[in-house]
Amino acid sequence: MDTGFLCNPEKEIGMKFFTLLMFSSAAMAQAPQSVDAKLAALDAAVKSAQSAGDNAWMLTSAALVLLMTGPGLALFYGGLVRRKNVLGTMMQSFILMAVITVLWAIVGYSLVFAEGSPFLGDLRYAFLRGVGIAPNPDYAATIPQQTYMVYQLMFAIITPALISGAFAERMKFSAMLLFTVLWALIVYFPMAHMVWGKGGLLNAALGGKIPTFDFAGGTVVHITSGVSALVCALYLGKRLGYPHEPMKPHSVVLSVIGACLLWFGWFGFNAGSALGASGLATSAFVATHFGAAAAALGWTFVEWIRSGKPSVLGAISGCVAGLVAITPASGFVQPFPALLIGFMAGVICYFMVTLVKHRFGYDDSLDAFGVHGAGGTVGAILTGVFATNLINDGFKDSAGKVMALGWVDGNGAQVVNQLIGSAIAWVLAIVGTLVILKICDALVGLRIDKDAEIQGMDVSLHGEEGYFFET
């Protein structure tokens, strides 16, 4: 009933308006009608209006987050590989837009957002049972639950796609599909439930034991995918010829387009996580943009100093690192701390992909771990430092008093929670991914054979070429 205002009048085109009209012209004309009736009509109308504004932003945000995977990530990664693997790499992002969608509809949404154990949701929402137009006030009281469902789906799509940067240019397509489905079930859904699901272990808003702040997915999205990426890189081993051969990007041009679309889409990812077109959405939007900007500068300057030339690849990698790091913090921090978080992420990730990676010699081909694993962890921890109720006063104690959030609010303990949350994400990612890789290896085998790798995934796996310029 609470939500009737959303279901009925909204359904028919124009219908809604006549409803209001009826009510309100009523509110003018028909003398007899009682003031309370008029107030009730206005009350319904104002809820409809609030929902329109919030839903407009959330549908836009959902579309933006999908855009991050395709073409955003597909281009960013596709440009970084060698020409012979461009399509196979783009496909690893694109196909997840399809696969995860079906998985999400069947069990994913339920396992994440249904109430259940602190570790996983139950199956009440399986096959989207009961997930309709009526809002789910636990999560977002002013938008249809289906808007929330499809918005969260887009997160479930991009997270496994991020991992593909680590096993690029050498994994079987069949193995990649199997891996992804299992990874979503075993790593992503549980982690997302713990942080965002009602009653989840780490849920800061809905009764988690260890309240952890993760506004848009630092632990859930970036630590899980980045750390799993490292495990994949180690398990699969290096590409033939790595590191002796340079294996430089075949088209940084494509990667620049991809990075820009990621930046653009990330506004939906972070500001959308306010779940409405509110002032909080604005704060998250600003923090996101500032974090990306400062990180691009951080990476560029340190690279300029250390290697003599500021590369375009560095600038775009930097902005992505900043976007990653600001993700958990975006709904909690002020603009200048956002600049700081971004800058630190840019510098740290630069060293991760230039020094650390070479020191340890793993082939994290497109730096999924160096950027998402490292950046995500940095962001998760710094969120505990800079989170402030000046930006997000939504957390109240029993007495209804606004709570101190991060260290800057005087709640240093939060940093510990952030560390615990990050640690859980690390452990889950490492253990889960290892198990899954063993399974896939046993069932279908992970790596394409030597000849196929030399020939390239495009021809050997998909029977195509990315570019055919002869005729």
**Among residue numbers 256 through 295, which ones bind another protein (CB under 8 A)?**
none
> In terms of CB distance, is 84 or 222 closer to a second copy?
84
Q: Tell me the number of residues near a second copy by CB under 8 A.
A: 154
Q: Do 303 and 415 contact (CB within 8 A), yes or no?
A: no
Establish if 435 lies at the interface with a second copy (CB under 8 A). no
> In terms of CB distance, is 118 or 335 closer to a second copy?
335
Using CB under 8 A, which of 295, 313, 347, 368 touches another protein? 313
Establish if 237 lies at the interface with a second copy (CB under 8 A). no
Strand partners, 80: none
Establish if 248 lies at the interface with another protein (CB under 8 A). yes
Output the six-digit token pair for 248.
């430089």
Q: Which residue has the tokens 């009523």?
A: 26
Site string for a second copy, 300-329 (x = CB under 8 A): x------xxxxxxx-xx--x----------
**Residue 373 contact among a second copy, another protein, none, beta carbon within 5 to 8 Å by kind:** none
Could you report how far apart the first and last alpha carbons of the chain are, in Å?
64
Establish if 330 lies at the interface with a second copy (CB under 8 A). no
What sign for the dihedral angle of Cα 317, 321, 327, 332?
A: negative
Count of beta carbons in the 10 Å neighbourhood of residue 205:
14
Using CB under 8 A, which of 13, 31, 442, 471 touches another protein? 471
Establish if 400 lies at the interface with a second copy (CB under 8 A). no
Task: Show contacts with a second copy in window 60-79 (CB under 8 A).
Answer: 60, 62-64, 66-67, 70-71, 74-75, 78
Establish if 289 lies at the interface with a second copy (CB under 8 A). yes
Please give the Cα distance from 290 to 335 (Å, whole number).
7
> In terms of CB distance, is 231 or 446 closer to a second copy?
446
The nearest distance, CB 461 to another protein, in angstroms, is 12
DSSP state for residue 245 in the 8-state scheme: S
Using CB under 8 A, which of 144, 199, 217, 421 touches a second copy? 144
Task: Show contacts with another protein in window 9-48 (CB under 8 A).
Answer: none
Q: Do 382 and 356 contact (CB within 8 A), yes or no?
A: no
> In terms of CB distance, is 122 or 464 closer to a second copy?
464
The nearest distance, CB 86 to a second copy, in angstroms, is 6
- Run of H or E including 38: helix 35-67
Establish if 128 lies at the interface with a second copy (CB under 8 A). yes
Three-state secondary structure call for residue 136: strand
Q: Which residue has the tokens 């793993």?
A: 362
Stretch that binds a second copy, among 118-126, 135-143, 184-192, 432-440 (CB under 8 A): 135-143
Using CB under 8 A, which of 307, 336, 410, 416 touches another protein? 307
Output the six-digit token pair for 251.
């088209």
Please give the Cα distance from 116 to 124 (Å, whole number).
9
Count of beta carbons in the 10 Å neighbourhood of residue 393:
12
Three-state secondary structure call for residue 49: helix
Q: CA-based diameter of the chain, in Å?
A: 87
The nearest distance, CB 246 to another protein, in angstroms, is 5
> In terms of CB distance, is 140 or 191 closer to a second copy?
140
Three-state secondary structure call for residue 447: strand
> Which distant-in-sequence residues (6+ apart) come within 8 Å of 175 by Cβ?
440, 441, 444, 445, 446, 447
Q: Which residues bind another protein (CB under 8 A)?
A: 241, 243-246, 248-249, 306-309, 311, 313, 350, 353-355, 357-358, 367, 454-455, 459-460, 463-465, 470-471
